Amino acid sequence: MTRSEGDEGRSIYRLRWVGYGLLLLALFNTIEIFIPPSFMNPGWELQTIGALVEQVPIPLMALVLIFFGESYDRTRLEKPLLKLLSWLCLLLALLFLLLIPLALVNTWRVNDQFNQRINAQSQQQLSQMEQVEAQLATGTPEEIRALATQLNSLGIAIDSQNPEEIKSQILARIPPAKDQLQQQAQAERSSQRLGLLKSSVKWNLGALISSVLLFIIWRGTGWARR
């Protein structure tokens, strides 16, 4: 063996060891992602898919380094490990492909949960305002003053202690407050939907690209499976 061949061999060994190290780090990260598990929770499942896709460059780089140099100067113990890793690439490629429909379903479910929560919050506030309107007609001066305090807590400023003035202010300010509340709820729904859609598209495309790259690695490592 010439000196240049020896230097090249040592470089290949270093790259392979770096690959094994990165693969172990990726394994630790994956275990951390699944702790604590919360299966059947669409939010947790979607975030887990996203985390898996976000960290997939590490195992991809690790596999490329491990398989670098193909069968050149492999130890006897490496051969069954390389065969296992090659088949693992195919398994992971299929797994990432199957994550795409799961991510799409969970995106829809999480968006539905967001909408239900926002609708419940806005409906609760609307109901409080409607109760205030209903109490105006029959309320005593003390009750009307209490209503003013309640509305102040809802963000509707009432700056009088006179019951009649309070009534007129309430009747004037509740309708636009209702409109503003509905607009805020719609804006929040739109913002949540947009953010969720952006994350879902990124993670689904990432899962697809990861699946393709893993399949390419599997196809290119047929020598390890022989």
Q: Please say whether the beta carbons of 192 and 39 come within 8 A.
A: no
- Say whether pLDDT at 57 is over 90: yes
CA 194 to chain centre: 13
The structure tokens listed for 225 are 């499976």
Q: Give pLDDT tens digits for 90-115.
A: 999 999 999 999 999 999 999 999 99
Q: Please say whether the beta carbons of 180 and 95 come within 8 A.
A: no
Averaged pLDDT score across all residues of the chain: 87
* 69: confidence class by pLDDT, cuts 50, 70, 90: confident
Q: Give pLDDT tens digits for 110-154.
A: 999 999 999 998 888 888 778 777 777 777 777 777 777 776 776
Residue 204 CB neighbour total at 10 angstroms: 20
- Say whether pLDDT at 166 is over 80: no
Q: Provide the CB-side half-sphere exposure for 22 (13 A, CA).
A: 18
Q: State residue 1's pLDDT score.
A: 45
Q: Give pLDDT tens digits for 8-51.
A: 557 888 899 999 999 999 999 999 999 999 999 999 999 999 99
Residue 28 burial class via C-beta count within 10 angstroms: exposed 0-12, middle 13-18, buried 19 and up: exposed
